[in-house]
Structure 1
Amino acid sequence: MDPERVIRTGPDGRQLIGPVNAAKTPRWAGTGTFARLPRTDQVEKTDIAVLGVPFDAGVSYRSGARFGPNHVRESSRLLRPFNPAQSASPFALCQVADAGDLIGNPFDIGEAIESIAAGASELMSAGSRLVTIGGDHTIALPLLRANHAVHGPVALLHFDAHLDTWDTYFGAEYTHGTPFRRAHEEGLIDPEAVMHVGTRGPLYGPEDLEDDERFGFGIVSSADVMRRGVDAVVAVLREKVGDRPLYVSLDIDVMDPAHAPGTGTPEAGGMTSREVLEILRGLRGLNIVGCDVVEVSPAYDHAELTGTAAAHVVYEMITLVALGPGAAPGGPAYGISGNAYGEAR
């Protein structure tokens, strides 16, 4: 028996089916979709599809991100339909639904990449914008291929402890450490509008940074966020991206292990969950065409810290996509004096 759901009238007059009504069905019960939203087969048209890709055959250290999508879904049960940080109700702006999982061959990375790209393209051809939960960072490449087919070369904001622009691992070109080098080589991303955010940790050598710069990437390190502050970082990112179609890819290890221990390649000195969420909120009004959150490995996630952080990241991404490009500035709905973006966004 399907539980009672929140029904809203959207800006275009459509009836939008929202999450399960928490006043009627307790949060620990009912379906395990993201934020307890309807499935795509329960709605007529999906504007934003939350898509799981449980694939982690491309990892170079600790595996387990294949279990990330459902872990994030379970961690999202406490999310509520009004986002006070952006003073917006994303599920009342457009139809958001859970598209379930897209399966890639776990024994053949090349085949998996092809099937993920095809599955993403099929959803996009039906008019859905995708917010994807991985899975390891290998999946960013096929998702970028699908977005490139629609939008051409896209701007990229890559939140990650690592560059992910290395060439090969054990001679393999397609891994979670190589997607953005391949994306550059394939012309999927605009070299004038690509940035890493939160990067830190040891490298193999200075040539890693030299290659990365040659591909066009700028870097805002986690130390930059600490020293310069969120406001300054957002200003840099917005200037870099401009009005280009933007893809946002976020590896949960961009956060410090204190905030997100459940990941395969943790690095000390990362951002807080608050800093990550505030930077994302500062992207309001940009032309975001797709997003992903990857590398959540629940086996290492004590007290569900990582799943909770990832669920809130996905929620902010959904809000940004629902608000759309050119969204009017809007500050938080509560706070003593607002926050740094109260007047700017």
Structure 2
Amino acid sequence: MSKLYHQPQSGNDMPRFAGRSTMMRLPFVEQLDSLDVAFVGIPLDVGTSLRAGTRYGPRQIRAESVMIRPYNMATGAAPFDSLSVADIGDVPINTYSLLKSVEIIEQYYDNLACYPLVPLTLGGDHTLTLPILRALAKKHGPVGLVHVDAHTDTNDTMFGEKIAHGTTFRRAVEEGLLDCQRVVQIGQRAQGYAAEDFQWGVDQGFRLITAEQCWHRSLSPLMAEVREMMGRGSVYLSFDIDGIDPAWAPGTGTPEVGGLSSIQAMEVVRGCRGLNLIGGDLVEVSPPYDVSGNTSQLAANLLYEMLCVVPGVDYHK
């Protein structure tokens, strides 16, 4: 089947406040054979621990993506000229069972892994990354990880449960899904329940870059180090919107002050250019706490920036 190089619908053909709600007003596609990149929504918030509402994240991110145009004027990326990209809708999670939802997500991404496409996921709470990694590791083996977050998400349990949005990466290590020497966590901050709360991942081999280490500096030099660290191996990018300071992104379930700026967030994602990126997600957007829509708009733009660094994108600069 020949590829269709879809373009987002122009705001001059259909008003931006009208038409079908898809990521960047791309076509909704069910035939996956010819796709290089698929935007996927996971409307999950059963795994959250404070504010709920991330089940509405994918819908609102799509709604706020209507202003995004095809060409990246800063980097020269032209993803729609070189890749077949579409929105393939949402994973039909179980709203009453987190464990069942995790199973459904894994099976869904198992199916996606049958196709040579890169999934970019609109979340949804951070629990969803575990089943995605389970599916991708079956195809690629243990993967490298770039993880932006206010938290390490390496708790052993939460309220006695092994699966929740704060246990994702401990389970991923225990299940052999990550290449621990190629894991970097960026933006962690605030308080812990114990003095060693950030230490577990470091003991496994993770590189930890706390928010304080990011203050008052560009993160472009850091990302040069990350690219060298990741090498040619498969890499997954997981971006929790609470990694960004709530001044820029208030609409999230577990906000923490002193976080990254929106500019630093873009530096991190743009700094992933050249990596063998096999997937990415943007999680923890909670629209009920996003009165202005700024958080969802930033999330949509970061997902576009992820698209721009997927292998195979043409650049016009």
Q: What band does the TM-score fall into relative to the shorter chain?
A: over 0.9
Q: Using the alignment, how far apart are the partners of 1:283 and 1:241 within structure 2?
A: 10
CA drift of 1:108 comes to 1.8
Q: Using the alignment, how far apart are the partners of 1:30 and 1:175 within structure 2?
A: 36
Q: Using the alignment, how far apart are the partners of 2:3 and 2:128 within structure 1?
A: 33
CA drift of 1:82 comes to 0.4
Question: Which residue of the partner structure matches residue 191 of structure 1?
Answer: 180
Q: Using the alignment, how far apart are the partners of 1:93 and 1:99 within structure 2?
A: 19
Q: Using the alignment, how far apart are the partners of 2:89 and 2:106 within structure 1?
A: 16
Q: Using the alignment, how far apart are the partners of 2:312 and 2:117 within structure 1?
A: 14
Contact 2:250/2:295, CA 8 A, preserved across alignment:
yes
SS at match of 2:256: coil
CA drift of 1:22 comes to 2.2
Question: Which residue of the partner structure matches residue 245 of structure 1?
Answer: 234
* AA at the equivalent of 2:61: V
Q: Using the alignment, how far apart are the partners of 1:294 and 1:192 within structure 2?
A: 24
Are 1:103 and 2:92 an aligned pair? yes
Question: Which residue of the partner structure matches residue 47 of structure 2?
Answer: 58
Q: Using the alignment, how far apart are the partners of 1:279 and 1:44 within structure 2?
A: 31
Are 1:290 and 2:282 an aligned pair? no
Are 1:67 and 2:56 an aligned pair? yes
* AA at the equivalent of 2:106: A
**Partner of residue 31 from structure 1, selected from 17, 20, 36:** 20
- Cα deviation, 1:261-283, whole Å, max 9, x if unaligned, reads 00000000011111110121111
SS at match of 1:181: helix
Contact 1:285/1:323, CA 8 A, preserved across alignment:
no
Higher relative contact order (CA 8 A, sep 6+): 2
Q: Using the alignment, how far apart are the partners of 2:8 and 2:32 within structure 1?
A: 12
Question: Which residue of the partner structure matches residue 262 of structure 1?
Answer: 251
CA drift of 1:96 comes to 0.5
* AA at the equivalent of 2:260: M
SS at match of 1:208: coil
* AA at the equivalent of 1:65: T
Give RMSD over aligned pairs.
1.8
Contact 2:276/2:311, CA 8 A, preserved across alignment:
no
Question: Which residue of the partner structure matches residue 230 of structure 1?
Answer: 219
Are 1:77 and 2:66 an aligned pair? yes
SS at match of 1:308: helix
Runs (4+) of structure 1 exceeding 6 A deviation are none
CA drift of 1:40 comes to 1.4
Q: Using the alignment, how far apart are the partners of 2:131 and 2:301 within structure 1?
A: 24
Question: Which residue of the partner structure matches residue 49 of structure 1?
Answer: 38
Higher Rg of the two aligned structures: 1
SS at match of 2:94: coil
Are 1:206 and 2:210 an aligned pair? no
| TM-aligned CA distance change 1:44 to 1:212, over 3 Å | closer
Question: Which residue of the partner structure matches residue 278 of structure 1?
Answer: 267
Q: Using the alignment, how far apart are the partners of 1:196 and 1:295 within structure 2?
A: 16
CA drift of 1:14 comes to 4.4
Structure 1 portions without partners, runs of 5+: 1-12, 334-345
Structure 2 portions without partners, runs of 5+: none
Are 1:304 and 2:293 an aligned pair? yes
CA drift of 1:42 comes to 7.2
What does 1:68-217 align with in structure 2 at a 5 Å threshold? 68-217=57-206
- Cα deviation, 1:205-259, whole Å, max 9, x if unaligned, reads 1232232222222111222222553132112211221111000000000110010
SS at match of 1:233: helix
Q: Using the alignment, how far apart are the partners of 1:299 and 1:227 within structure 2?
A: 31
Contact 1:34/1:50, CA 8 A, preserved across alignment:
yes
Aligned length: 317
SS at match of 1:312: helix
Q: Using the alignment, how far apart are the partners of 1:116 and 1:189 within structure 2?
A: 18
* AA at the equivalent of 1:90: P
